[in-house]
Amino acid sequence: MSDDYYYNQSGYPPATPQPDAPPSYHGTQSGFGGYSQQSSYDSEGRRPFGYHHGYGEPLMEQEDNDQFFLSVAPSAQKQKVDYKLSDCRGRKRALLIGINYFNTPNELNGCINDVHNIKNFIMELYGFKEEDMVILTDDQSEPQFIPTRANIISAMQWLVNDAQENDSFFFHYSGHGGFVEDTSGDEADGMDETIYPVDHDKYEGTSGQIIDDELHDILVKPLPAGCRLTALFDSCHSATVLDLPFTYSTKGTVKDQNLFKDAGKGLLEAGLAYAASGDRGAALSSIMELGQQLFKIRNVEDMNREELSSPADVIMFSGCKDDQTSADATEAGKATGAMSYALTSTLRENPRQSYKELLNSVRDILREKYSQRPQLSSSHPLDVDLEFVC
């Protein structure tokens, strides 16, 4: 198939001339974050391990209640977002992180396999080169390639350093995810989503985790207009882990918070309380409190779309909703993250999928065995009928 087939579709900018040879990042890596060219990374020779548990138990998925979401077309948003799509024909870099947390109570099995799978996937389908990748896994012997908090932050800074229009960067994280109390006021649910470096327990309290605000500041804010970052988070509680302000339903519409569902539940509770006690004042007080909560959620969403939108072209697929876990699974006889497996499998089978088709394909694969619902989000209003590129 032609290298240009997915770049020449209507909606993407005209392709920029491809350089005779892709620029080398070896000097950049050496001078930024201490990275020299990484020895060839392969799954062979790693310490063996077997699948024995998951952190998202395989379950039948419930129906996706998209009808409970307020859906609005991107053109209907109050804030106009200035952005530019990337043609993904510039420089390519990738940062791939897989953490199995060996010899800990929360050991995982498939995260390092995910890195190997994703590395081959983006090389074979999208033209990334191994010399332009940094791989952090907790089975390596060189200290700078262990996924500690400091190394992850340094590697993220390397990834986006000197970003330019039409560059294409790929970020993959497979490991534990969590949440902590939000202190900045940008979370409607009051919680920041996090990832867990391998040394997170060496820090006081939750400070060893990397929160979504920090991930956004490092990976998204430095990017110029027309620079693509494709992020794949195969971790628990990951729907908003990059703080991207636009999240899409399987129908391709922008999802707001569950306002209708929350309102209906609150009104029902107020009605039942009134029926039981006859206390009209208490019922009205409950309704007023509900209205204040919904108003706060709407204000947070409006603020985030204004403050967290980006002129860059940032797309994220995440393994689950913020209140769900992502499965550490076994597929095709091999330990793997369910999300990483589903996304690479469906794109290998059919590389020419739109963003909406890809979201639905991944959900269809996982629906058979897992309760998690993968999410698609972006830094700008997204035409979900465009073909996925990176």
In a domain, 325, yes or no: yes
CA angle 251, 254, 259 (to 5 degrees): 105
User: What does the pLDDT look like over 280-338, one tens digit per residue?
Assistant: 666 566 666 655 555 555 555 556 555 667 899 999 999 888 888 999 999 989 999 99
In a domain, 167, yes or no: yes
Query: Which residues, listed in sequence order, are joined to residue 174 by a DSSP beta bridge?
Result: 98, 234
Domain count, the chain: 1
| CATH number for position 218 | 3.40.50.12660
Cα 13 vs. chain centroid, distance in angstroms? 24
The one catalytic residue among 88, 111, 172, 176:
176
User: What does the pLDDT look like over 125-146, one tens digit per residue?
Assistant: 999 999 999 999 999 999 999 9
CA-to-CA distance for 282 and 272, rounded, in angstroms?
Answer: 11
Does residue 187 register a pLDDT over 70?
Answer: no
Choose the weakest-confidence range: 111-125, 265-279, 366-380.
265-279
In a domain, 289, yes or no: no
In a domain, 35, yes or no: no
CA-to-CA distance for 210 and 207, rounded, in angstroms?
Answer: 8
At position 152, the amino acid (one-letter code) is: I
The interaxial angle of helices 111-126 and 338-349, nearest 10 deg, is 20
Residue 236 annotated among the catalytic residues of the structure:
yes
In a domain, 197, yes or no: yes
Tokens of 377: 């989000």
In a domain, 74, yes or no: yes
Half-sphere exposure of 355 (CA within 13 A, CB side): 23
Percent over 70 (pLDDT), the chain: 64
The one catalytic residue among 88, 111, 227, 236:
236
CA-to-CA distance for 383 and 254, rounded, in angstroms?
Answer: 11
User: What does the pLDDT look like over 1-30, one tens digit per residue?
Assistant: 444 534 455 565 655 444 343 333 333 333
Q: Which of 385, 366, 275 is nearest to 62 (CA)?
A: 366
In a domain, 280, yes or no: no
Residue 180 lies in domain: 69-252+309-378
In a domain, 156, yes or no: yes
Tokens of 155: 């590697």
Residue 320 annotated among the catalytic residues of the structure:
no
CA-to-CA distance for 13 and 2, rounded, in angstroms?
Answer: 18
Q: What sign does the CA torsion over 264, 266, 271, 272 have? A: positive
User: What does the pLDDT look like over 215-261, one tens digit per residue?
Assistant: 999 999 999 999 999 999 999 888 789 999 999 999 999 876 544 44
pTM (two decimals): 0.74
Helix (H), strand (E), coil (C) string for the chain: CCCCCCCCCCCCCCCCCCCCCCCCCHHHHHHCCCCCCCCCCCCCCCCCCCCCCCCCCCCCCCCCCHHHCCEECHHHCCCCCCCCCCCCCCCEEEEEEECCCCCCCCCCCCHHHHHHHHHHHHHHHHCCCHHHEEEEECCCCCHHHCCCHHHHHHHHHHHHCCCCCCCEEEEEEECCEEEEECCCCCCCCCEEEEECCCCHHHCCCCCCCEEHHHHHHHHCCCCCCCCEEEEEEECCCCCCCCCCCEEECCCCCEECCCHHHHHHHHHHHHHHHHHHHCCHHHHHHHHHHHHHHHHHHHHHHHHHHHHCCCCCEEEEEECCCCCCCCCEEEECCEEEEHHHHHHHHHHHHCCCCEHHHHHHHHHHHHHCCCCCCCEEEECCCCCCCCECCC
At position 137, the amino acid (one-letter code) is: T
